[in-house]
Chains A and B, each alone.
Chain A
Amino acid sequence: MNRHLSGLRILALSVGLATILMPQAQAALVPWSQLAGKTVLFVTGGKASPKPNDDALVARHLRKLGFVVRTVDAAVAPSAADGAALIVISSTADAHELGEKFADTTVPVFTWNTFDYPNLGMTGPVLHRDFDVIDPVQHYADSFAVLYGFGANITSEISRAVGLRPQLFGTLYLEPETAGWGRPGPGGTVIADFFGSRRYAAVFTYEREATLENGRTAPARRVGFYLGNDDFHLLTAVYGPPAADPNLRHWAIGLKLFDAALRWAASPPPPPPLYDPQALDAALRRAARGTKVLYVERVNGGEGRRSDAHIVAHLRRLGFEVTVTDQTAPQSVARGMDLVIISGTCSKWKLANKYVDAPIPLISLEGLLSDSLHFAGRDRYTDYGEHGELLESDDPPENYLDIVGAWSPMAAGLKPGPMKFTYHPGVLKWAWPLPDATVIATLPNEPREDAIFGYPKGARMADGFIAPARRALLPLDNPSYDDMTPQGKALFDAVVLWAIRR
Chain B
Amino acid sequence: MRAAHVRRLGSHLMWVAALAVACPAAGAKVFPYRALRRIALPAAANVSALAVVGRDLYAGQGDSVSLYAPTGALRIAHRRLDGTVRALAAVDGQIVVAVSHPSSLEFLAAKSLRVLRQRALIAASPSALLYDPAVHMLFIEDRAGHTVTRLDPQTGRTLGSVRLAGALGQMAANGRGTLYVANATHDAIDVTDARGMRYEGAIPLRRCHAPHALAMDTVGRRLFVACSNGRALIIDADLGFTFVRLPIQRGGHLRAAFAYRPLGPHGWKGGVFIAGGGALSAIQMQAFVRYRAGGRLPVTRRITALALAPAAGVLWLAVARGGGKPAALWRLAAPVSESQ
Contacts and interface: CB of A to CB of B under 8 A. Distances in A.
A112 B245 CA distance: 23
A264 B123 CA distance: 54
Interface residues of B, number: 19
Contacts of B237: 242
A92 interface: no
Contacts of B200: 241
Contacts, number: 49
A175 B290 CA distance: 8
B201 interface: yes
A239 interface: yes
Contacts of A238: 239-241
B203 A241 contact: yes
A240 B288 CA distance: 21
Contact of B239 (A175, A233, A237): A237
A248 B238 contact: yes
B289 interface: yes
Given A240-B189, A240-B204, A174 B243 contact: yes
B243 A240 contact: no
B202 interface: yes
Contacts of B142: none
B263 interface: no
Contact of B243 (A234, A241, A244, A248): A234
A238 B239 CA distance: 5
A423 interface: no
Contact of B240 (A173, A174, A175, A241): A241
B236 interface: yes
Interface in B225-267: 236-241, 243, 245
Contacts of A237: 239, 241
A236 B290 contact: no
Contacts of B238: 242, 248
A147 to B, nearest CB: 10
The CB with the most chain B CB atoms within 10 A, among A173, A175, A241, A243, is that of: A241
Contact of B289 (A173, A233, A239, A242): A173
Contacts of A233: 243, 245
A182 B208 CA distance: 36
A240 B289 contact: no
Contacts of B203: 239-241
A40 interface: no
B191 interface: yes
Nearest to B188: A240
A252 interface: yes
Contact of B241 (A175, A236, A244): A236
A243 B238 CA distance: 9
30 contacts: A173-B236, A173-B241, A173-B243, A173-B289, A175-B290, A233-B243, A233-B245, A234-B243, A236-B241, A237-B241, A238-B239, A238-B240, A239-B203, A239-B204, A239-B239, A239-B240, A240-B189, A240-B202, A240-B203, A240-B204, A240-B240, A241-B191, A241-B200, A241-B201, A241-B240, A242-B237, A242-B238, A242-B239, A248-B239, A252-B239
Interface of B: 188-189, 191, 200-204, 236-241, 243, 245, 288-290
